[in-house]
Amino acid sequence: MSRLLMRLYELKRRPHEKTIPIIIGSGGTFISTGKFNKRDGCRLDTEILAWPAYAGLRCPSGLSSHITCTDKIAVRIPGESFALDLVRAAGFPITATSANISGLPAARDVSMISEYFYDRLDLIIDGGTSRNTQPSTIVDVTRQTAVVLREGAISARASSPAS
């Protein structure tokens, strides 16, 4: 697995201190892996589920350093998409990142992916044109109150569960 993650870093020219997030199909799937505690899964379901955001959760031991270089891991439940269908069909978390060279805008369609990566990819699945134009917001839910670490598709004001 680490070899594949290393290849992903190379393709994207991604700094190694910037970890690769994972996507899940639901909070229940997340908890069923047995690697995360129920409290984090509940917070994920109740606070993050409907957001275009990654939640920073406490990381269990034994995961690749390419997925976590701190004590946290970024987890997201994607909106209705091919990615959501794929992770639900798999029944377990999978790594996910935008299709781009690090620092450049995310590819919105197959032609942009081809421009970025030329013939260096083994497979491209055409899910149509992406409606997302902004990166996901990153929210740390390991604290008593969720904290926005990076604003993206949602603002810090809109991200508070109390708002």
Structure tokens at 52: 């275009």
E strand residue ranges, 8-64:
22-23, 53-58
Would you write out the chain's pLDDT as a tens digit for each of its 163 residues? 588 888 999 999 998 888 888 888 876 655 544 455 545 544 554 455 445 666 666 666 677 777 776 777 777 877 778 888 998 999 888 888 888 999 998 899 999 999 999 989 999 988 888 877 677 777 777 777 777 877 877 665 554 544 4
Residue 94: what are its φ and ψ, rounded to 5°? -130, 155
In 25-103, alpha helices (H): 27-32, 38-43, 82-90
Match 């697995």 to its residue by tokens: 1
pLDDT recorded at residue 56: 66
Neighbours of 102 (CB within 10 A): 13
Angle made by CA atoms 102, 56, 153, in degrees to the nearest 5: 60
pTM of model > 0.85: no
Question: Kind of pairing, strands 22-23 and 72-76?
Answer: parallel
Q: How many helices and strands (H and E) does the chain possess?
A: 5, 6
